[in-house]
Structure 1
Amino acid sequence: MKKLLFAVFTAFVFFAVPVGAASARVFLSIATGSTGGTYYPLGGGIAEIISKNVPEFQVTSETGNASAANLNLIGTRQIEMAFAQNDIAYWASKGMPPFKERYENIRVVASLYPEHVHGITLKGSGVNDITDIRGKRVSVGAPGSGVLGDVSAILKIAELHYGDMSPDFLDFNNTTQRFKDGQLDVGFVVAGYPTSSIIDLAATNDIDLISFNDDFMTKLTEEYPYFIKDVIPAGTYRGIDSDIVTPAVMAMLVCEASLSDDVVYRFTKALWENIADLHKVHPKAGLITLVTALDGVSVPVHPGAARFYTERGMTVPTVK
């Protein structure tokens, strides 16, 4: 796409022109997700906010294939900004599967909202803790998915192996269908709550969710810094009558490292100073706050964004 080189060139022209001269425009594109997902409307909302409040910037959002595909675009310098989960950004930066090479040019603009690990089971299954899945029929996520990567990390901390259970490698919809067919004891889904497929399952089955104890969460977040400790509140799904403590990953807005500090600073500033406008775009946007803007950061923060957060008295994490 060659957009990045053009964007960098226009940014250079804009900041090089004398005061009073006609200003060149800065063009930025944001890779999002499918039109039916959360990334797409949020990307459109952010593009509109920045374009409106920084007139020299022309920001557009584009449909994408979510985290892994978006990070490939950033890594190969085909787009300037993208939405991605922080766990998958971490794997991309290290060249871990599903990535075949290290992408060291991924930078964080902001953490946005959590996407929670749902360890689904049925009431009466005998599964109350992660260690109880030994010997059970378990859906661990589709091959190459972020869910499978997250479950693998969780199992390592729990000192469990796939050979300790009967694993099935299923996506969200097939996981809930297998429950309905009586073919699963446990299924893992990683998504923001409430998740439609789980709502549908809870309407016809007495579901439960695995809650993780504090000791486990401490070990998990120390070993894998892209996880945060969070809660799925009681009442989120039918039959869930108490808060569920569970790991979560963060949806993030990331950018390509070579974008100028000034461009990213002005983008970040405009986003947070007008965040109330984004809250109107989608229910999930209400969880996007400055307080959590650096939660779960798994790759370095862009210096332009870091400048904004430092000005607000926030501590920018150092990520190597």
Structure 2
Amino acid sequence: MKFTTILAATAFAITAHAAQAQERVTYKSAKSTSSYYQMGVQIAEAMKEGTGGDILVTLEESQGSVQNVMEVKARGADYVFTTPPALVGLAQGGKAMFEGKSDPAFDTIRALFPIPSLTMHFVMSEASGVTDFAGMEGKTLLLGKGSFGAREGEKYLGLFGLEGKVDLAEVELSNAVSALKNGQIDGFVTAGSYPAPNVIEAAATTGVTILSLNEEQIAQTKRTRLVIPAGTYTGQDSDVVTTSLPVVAYTTTQMSDDTAYALTKTFWEQREKMGEAAPWWLGVNEGLMAAINGKIHPGALRYYQEAGFALTDAQM
């Protein structure tokens, strides 16, 4: 009887210790149909594998980055979310969509690590003969509707003197590759983490030219410069210089330093393995740290300092 009691007590103690050691984190990303939701699935798997199950990530669907930031007001120490750094700055300043909605909780937001950026792709068929933006005049272009890529694409046409000089196709972006193949359009604009699946398909089956922006054009867009390395897509023999909207995983100062450290360390250690399954992770490197224009969580900061990452004073 005593032996049974001792065994039960021991089992209880082991279970209690395991429960204490296990950390549960909620990761709020994007709509379930988006690539960013799929990235969240991959991060959850990577955290479980990389920590031996010590960190378990629950993925939540989101309606967008603004919602992710707003929920900081009601969330606890286990909350991780994704958003462009610019939105964090707007929230902390009570500007734009956050005007009149300021909250002290916004000042507790801290960065963990960058994830793949929304990268602009201006994709033209080889048959169109277009190799630069000026050559788009008189061509038929698919922008899509309502997306970040569609809004940016329309903005760039205006900035580069092409407004009203390009025929805009009334076709859904999901049909871009087939429309390009059958000559219904000369090109399309898409924003996604590179390598983007629809660009991979177009490059492999149709033959395309992905347009580069010059430095003056990049300055006009007021977006972050990004280079898509040569060889990313079939037939891409040289680097493509384009623009991007950085996206970062954030938490708040409520999260413990140890948890933030473990999340950040595991992310970078698992990044290459994630990239074997999904190449967009290979575009995440130390260079993307510059896109974090606010403070980094102290726990994450400890990892970056150990790993020798170059950081700015504003990030510390």
TM-score between the two structures when normalised by the length of structure 2: 0.69
Matched position secondary structure for 1:294: helix
The aligned residue for residue 42 of structure 2 is 42
Deviation at 1:119, TM superposition (A): 0.7
Aligned pair 1:27/2:24, yes or no?
Answer: yes
Report which of the two structures shows the higher radius of gyration computed on alpha carbons.
2
Mapped partners of 2:276, 2:129: distance in 1: 42
The aligned residue for residue 301 of structure 1 is 296
Partners of 2:122 and 2:187 within 8 A in 1: yes
Mapped partners of 1:112, 1:314: distance in 2: 16
Aligned length: 280
The aligned residue for residue 80 of structure 2 is 81
Deviation at 1:110, TM superposition (A): 0.9
Amino acid at match of 1:201: A
Mapped partners of 1:152, 1:32: distance in 2: 26
The aligned residue for residue 167 of structure 2 is 166
**Two-structure CA RMSD over aligned residues (Å):** 3.8
Partners of 1:45 and 1:281 within 8 A in 2: no
The aligned residue for residue 128 of structure 1 is 131
Matched position secondary structure for 2:175: helix
Mapped partners of 1:283, 1:101: distance in 2: 34
Amino acid at match of 1:146: F
Partners of 1:278 and 1:285 within 8 A in 2: yes
The aligned residue for residue 14 of structure 1 is none
Partners of 1:129 and 1:211 within 8 A in 2: yes
The aligned residue for residue 192 of structure 2 is 191
Structure 1 gaps, min length 5: 1-19
User: In structure 1, which of residues 246, 253, 268 is the aligned counterpart of residue 242 of structure 2?
Assistant: 246
Check 1:44–1:179 CA distance in 2 against 1; reply closer, same or farther (3 A cut). same
User: In structure 2, which of residues 113, 121, 131 is the aligned counterpart of residue 110 of structure 1?
Assistant: 113
Mapped partners of 1:170, 1:51: distance in 2: 45
**Bigger helix fraction:** 2
Deviation at 1:28, TM superposition (A): 1.1
Mapped partners of 1:169, 1:311: distance in 2: 52
Deviation at 1:164, TM superposition (A): 4.4
Structure 2 gaps, min length 5: 1-16
Deviation at 1:81, TM superposition (A): 1.2
Deviation at 1:210, TM superposition (A): 1.0
- Which region of structure 1 is more displaced relative to structure 2, 276-285 or 204-213? 276-285
Deviation at 1:72, TM superposition (A): 1.3
Check 1:271–1:210 CA distance in 2 against 1; reply closer, same or farther (3 A cut). closer
Mapped partners of 1:299, 1:151: distance in 2: 28
Mapped partners of 1:107, 1:151: distance in 2: 31
Mapped partners of 1:277, 1:235: distance in 2: 18
Q: Which runs of 4+ in 1 moved over 6 A?
A: none
The aligned residue for residue 146 of structure 1 is 148
The percent identity for this pair of structures is 19
The aligned residue for residue 5 of structure 1 is none
The aligned residue for residue 292 of structure 1 is 287
Check 1:25–1:64 CA distance in 2 against 1; reply closer, same or farther (3 A cut). same
TM-score between the two structures when normalised by the length of structure 1: 0.68
Partners of 2:226 and 2:243 within 8 A in 1: yes
Partners of 2:150 and 2:190 within 8 A in 1: no
Amino acid at match of 2:211: I
